Amino acid sequence: MSSLEFESFRARSVRDFAASQVEAGNWTVEVAEHNAMNMFDQLLPEGLATEGHLVLSAEDADGTVIGSVWVALHRPDTSGAWVYDIFVEPQHRGKGVGRALLTAAENDVLQRGVDSIGLNVFGGNDIARRLYESAGYETTTMQMRKTL
């Protein structure tokens, strides 16, 4: 991923993560973007040069970026690598791009000596959950909430 592509990735990732947190009921609209930006900047303080993180992109035949995946090789609270973000442009979904990004990330992580990889998927994201399950990911924890 180039530095120019990274800026676009960063903006989209922050925006989407903030929206997901609002939809999940974790953050209010008023604080979501600020919180997401702070988390992103803490995790990737050096952008693409941040040690221990991989940010890969998928391109179409014309060289246009159509998807990305961001993986940390280690996290202090889990064993193995962690997928922080995976995204495929809407018009390219359902064509194997997400699976190709997961496979590329898994191969890269394995080549670096890490033998497992985890991720979080929001409860309402059935399409993503089916992709992860079909790629061999298993549920390890589940959080639930009831609005009163």
Q: What is the pLDDT of residues 1-39, one digit of tens each?
A: 888 899 999 999 999 999 999 988 899 999 999 999 999
Is pLDDT above 80 for 146?
Answer: no
pLDDT at 24: 87
**Domain definitions of the chain by residue range:** 3-134
Is pLDDT above 90 for 122?
Answer: no
What separation in angstroms does the CA of 135 have from each of 6, 24, 35, 62, 101? 26, 24, 31, 27, 11
The Cα 136–Cα 104 span in angstroms is: 15
Neighbour tally for 10: CB within 10 Å: 18
pLDDT at 76: 82
Q: How confident is the model at residue 67 (pLDDT cuts 50, 70, 90)?
A: very high
Closest to 76 (Cα-Cα) out of 103, 42, 110, 125: 42
Q: How confident is the model at residue 85 (pLDDT cuts 50, 70, 90)?
A: very high
The CATH architecture of the domain made up of 3-134 is 3-Layer(aba) Sandwich (3.40)
Instruction: Kindly report the average pLDDT of the chain as a whole number.
Output: 93
